[in-house]
Amino acid sequence: MPIELKKVLGAKLPPMDFSWDQDRLMLYALGAGVGIDADPTTPGVLQYTYEDENLKALPTFGVVPSFAALMNLMSVDGLSFNPMMLLHGEQYLEILARPIPTSATVRSEGSIKAIYDKGKGALLVIEVTTTTTDGAPLFRNEYGIFLRGEGGFGGEQGPAAGHLPPDRAPDAVVETPTVAHQALLYRLSGDKNPLHADPSFAALGGFDRPILHGLCTFANVARAAIQAFADNDPTRFRSIRVRFVRPVMPGETIVTEMWDMGGGEIVLRAKTKPNDTVVISNAQVVLDA
C-alpha cells in the first residue's frame, strides 16, 4: 500500500518511558562485546562492567531508551508495510548531556522527520529526543529505516551520503571480536527481533542464519574510536553517524578503520574479518578535541 506522505511526514510517535540502573548499563556493555578476548581486570573493561564509583556508560547506550518508540511505527496513520521488509539503514546518536547518568528514568518522544524515495524502497528518518524527568535533553537519535518495496511514490531522493574516507591509509585500526552467541546477549538490551535469534525468521529475511544487530556493530565502532582517539574516555564522546551496509555474523571480527580529520572529527569504515566485507560506511564520530 502506498505511503500517504501528507499523513506520515511529521507524524508523532507515542512517548515512551524507560528506566535503567547500573546492572542494565553493564549488561549492555557485555552484550556489545566489552571484555571479549581482553584482560577483564583492565580499567578499559571495568569502567563499563564494574559497579564502583568509576562506572561509566558506553555512550551508544543512548540508543536503548528510544528504541522502543520504533515499535509504534506500524500504528502511524497512512503507513502500511510488511515488517519483514524493514531494514535499519542509518543511525545518528548525539549525547546532549555528559556524563551519562548510571541510573535514570527518562522519556523518549519521536516524530517522522523525513521520507525519501529510494526507488526500490522508502527511507524514513525518525527523530527521537530522550529527556530526563525534569525535561533536560539527554540523547537525540535519528533512525534511518528502509522499507523495501515501498519506493516509487515520487518523493525526494534525499541527500547524498557523506563522510567518505580520505585517499590514504587509516590513522588507526581497531579489531573487536564477537562470539557466536553475541546476538543472544545483545538482544537482552531490548531489541528482541527474532531475526537475531530464530533461524526460521532469519530465513524469511533472506539470511542463512541469525545475524548480529546493526546497533551492536554500531557500539563496537564507537568503542573503537574512543579507544583510539579519546584515551579510552567515553565522556569525551559527542556523536556518531553510520550507514549500515551489510550485517555482521556472530563470531566474526569487526575491523574499524579510522581517519583523524582534526578538531575531534573521526571518519570511519568497518569491515569484517576474515572476509573483508564492508559492514559500516559513511561513518563519523565526533569527540571532544
Q: Tell me the catalytic residues.
A: 191, 196, 211, 214
And the C-alpha cell for 190?
Answer: 531490548
The single-letter DSSP state of residue 50 is -
Strand (E) or helix (H) holding 252: none
Query: Cβ(259)–Cβ(266) under 8 Å?
Result: yes
Burial 149-175 (b: 16+ CB within 10 A, else e): ebbeeebeeeeeeebebeeeebebebe
235-249: burial string, b at 16+ Cβ within 10 Å, e else: ebbbbbbbebbebbb
The residue behind cell 567515553 is 234
Are 256 and 268 within 8 A, CB to CB?
Answer: yes
Indicate the DSSP class of residue 13.
E
Q: Cell numbers 533512525 correspond to what residue?
A: 143
Would you say 182 and 33 are in contact if contact means Cβ atoms under 8 Å apart? yes
